[in-house]
Amino acid sequence: MSSSADTKEKIYWVPLESSPEALSKVMHGMGVDKATGFSDVWGLDEELLGMVAQPVRALVFLFPMTDKYVQQRKQYFEGINNNKVSPNVWYMRQTIGNACGTMAIFHALGNNQKDIKIDGELAKFFERVKDMTPDERAAELETTRAMAEAHKEGAADGQTAVPEADANVLHHYVAFVN
């Protein structure tokens, strides 16, 4: 016997281009004040870090996924309960394919709600999911059209060709939050 969860079709979003403009467009489309934005980090020496707008609330990092990384990540997540997270950390599980850029935005903002002005659909989303588990938040995101539209608009612009939503992307975004 199968449940509806077993037959549910995987949802994919078009991968985001790795640019501050694309990430900022998604974030602003969700309802974040335009005074907040992303910028490139060109290096980690003091002079280059001095060029980054302050204060820094999070770092969104894009890296190439190797077979070794994918295997280690799979083993790690098999051994933990995704729904048991510190109450001091805002976390949502990623269930939408190729949405890691927007997931990094959610984690950067979700963990900085006291310091960043968030309005509109994103504020409503955070309010709806505040008492949910990471899996329940993921399920809510799958049905929240406004978030999908903000992502789609950000993914449509850029300097590179837009891939198909279900493209096999070999890079992954993560967020490090302050």
Question: Any idea which residues carry the catalytic annotation?
Answer: 100, 172
144-151 contacts: CB < 8 A, separation 24 or more?
Answer: 146/30, 146/121, 147/30, 147/102, 147/121, 147/122, 148/13, 149/29, 150/26, 150/29, 150/30, 150/102, 150/121, 151/13, 151/14, 151/16, 151/26, 151/99, 151/102
Find the angle CA(93)-CA(2)-CA(167) to the nearest 5 degrees: 45
**Tokens found for residue 172:** 């992954």
